[in-house]
Amino acid sequence: MSFTSLTFVGFLLIVLALYWLARRQAWQNIILLAASYIFYGWLNPWYGVLLGLSSAADFFIALGIARYRNRSRALLTLSLLLNLGVLAFFKYYDFFNVGLVAQLAKVGVHADVFLVSILLPAGLSFYTLRKLAYILDVSRGAFQPVENFVDFSLYVSFFPQIVAGPIERIQKLLPQIQLPRTWKPEFFSAAWPLLVMGVFKKVVVADTISAVVDRIFGMQSPSKALVLAAVLGFTLQILADFSGYTDMARGIALLFGFETSENFNKPYLALTPSDFWNRWHITLSNFLRDYIFFPLRRALLKKRTLPAWLVQAIPPLVTMFVSGLWHGAGWTYLLWGIYYGVLIVIYQSSGIQVNWQQSNKLKVLIAWLVMFSLIVFGWFLFRAPSIAWAGQVLFQAAWLTKPQDAIIALMMLAMAAVYSFPLILKMLLDRFSKPGSWWLAAYFAVITIVTIVYINSSNPDFIYFQF
C-alpha cells in the first residue's frame, strides 16, 4: 500500500477516525497496531506473520536479559543470530544462490532446486535495526525492557515508518506511545506542509526524473555524457524520493500525535564525507555511529600495540562497509560503502575535514564543489547495474557515441535543473521568510496544484523500499 495511492488515503482516513474516536490511550494503541499490521501485510500477509514472530521473540528476549543477567550474553547472542539471520536470508539469498548454482553447474551438478527466488519483505532492514538497537540498549543497561507487548509491537511496526524509516529509537517513540493523546488542530497544521511537500517530491520530481534515469542506466553501452547526465538526475531523484517518503511519514505520524525524527538536513550542502553522513539518512548514520563505529573505536583504543593510523582508519572503513552491506546484496553497494569509508579516512587523516570548515568563503565554495562531485560519483557507483558496467563506462566508453547523445544529455540536465528549482526555492523560503508568510502559502498552493496534475502518472514504489 503506497502513501500516494487512493487506497492508502481511504485507509488513513478510516484509521484516523477510529483512532481519535477511541480517546483512551490503550485503545488508540491497539487500533494503531492493528492498522500497522494491515498496512504491512496488505500485499503479503505472511510478512505480517514474520513481523509478529520476530517482535515477540525480541520482546521476551529483552525481558530475559533484564531478569537473568547471568544469561544476558547468551540471550543477546540469540537475538543477534535471529535478527541478522532472518535479514541475511531474505536479503542475500538470491545473491549467493545464483553464484552457488553456477559453481555447482561447473562440476556437473544441476541444482534447479536452488533456483527459487526469495522476495525481500519491504521494510525488513529498517525494523530489524529498530529491534537490534532496542536489544543492545537493554543488554548494556541503557534502557529498561518494555513490559507491555502492545506498546513494544507498535514501536516496531508503526506503519508510517515501517517500510523505509526513519529508524526511530525506542527512547524517542515509546514515551509518546505510553502517554495519553488528544486531538489538537496543531497536528494537522504541522502535518499538512510535510504531506504536501513529500508527495510533491515523490510524484513531481522523483518520478519524472526516474523515467530518463532508468532508461540510461538500463543501456548496455551508454556514452560518458549520457551517464554523467543520468547520474546528476539520479542525485536529485534519490534525494527527492527518499526525503519525500520521510516527509510523508513524519506528516502521517503527526496526524496521530507523534513527533518523529528528521532524516535529512540539506545533505548536498556538506563540505566533508562525515558532514554528508551527518545530514543524509540521519537515523541510519546514528545507528551505525552508536552501535558499530564507537564500540569498535573503543575496542581498538584499548589495544595499545596497534599504530594510531590503524586505530583511526579501521572504524570508518568497517562502519561504511556495513552501510554498503545493509543497503543491498550487490558488489556495487559494497564498493559504494568502502568508497565512503576511504573518503572519511582521507579527509580525517589529512586535516582537510577541519581546515575547510574554518576557511574563507572561496575555500568553502571549493570544498563544497569537491564534496558534491564526490557525492555524485558515489551515486554513480550506487546506481550502476554492476561493477563491470561501471568499469566499462569509466574506462572504455566514449564521451559521445552519436549526435543524439548530446541532445539527450542536455535535456536530462535541463530537467534536473528545472525540477531542482522548487526544492532550492523551498530551502530559501525556509531560511529567509517568516513563518506563516504569504510567500510560503503561495508556494504550497502552487505545488499542490502541480502535484494534482502529476499524480496519475506517478510510480507508487519508493527507491528505498528495496533496501
The one catalytic residue among 169, 201, 279, 327: 327
Residue 327 among the catalytic residues: yes
Distance CA(80)–CA(132), nearest Å, equals 7
Provide φ and ψ at 15, rounded to 5°.
-65, -45
CA torsion angle 327 333 339 340 (round to 10): -10
Burial class of 213 by CB neighbour count within 10 A (0 to 12, 13 to 18, 19+) = buried
Distance CA(266)–CA(365), nearest Å, equals 16
Identity (one letter) of the amino acid at 109? V
For 456, residues 6+ apart whose C-beta sits below 8 A from its C-beta are none
Grid cell listed for 61? 528476549
Distances (CA, A) of 99 to 90, 105, 115, 384: 16, 10, 11, 20
Burial class of 425 by CB neighbour count within 10 A (0 to 12, 13 to 18, 19+) = middle
- CA-based nearest residue to 279, from 294, 287, 269, 291: 269
Question: For residue 432, how many other CB atoms are within 10 A of its CB?
Answer: 9
**Which single residue is written with the C-alpha cell 563544497?**
368
Give first-to-last CA distance, the chain, whole Å.
17
- CA-based nearest residue to 165, from 280, 278, 66: 280
Distance CA(195)–CA(250), nearest Å, equals 8
Distance CA(68)–CA(57), nearest Å, equals 16
Catalytic residues: 327
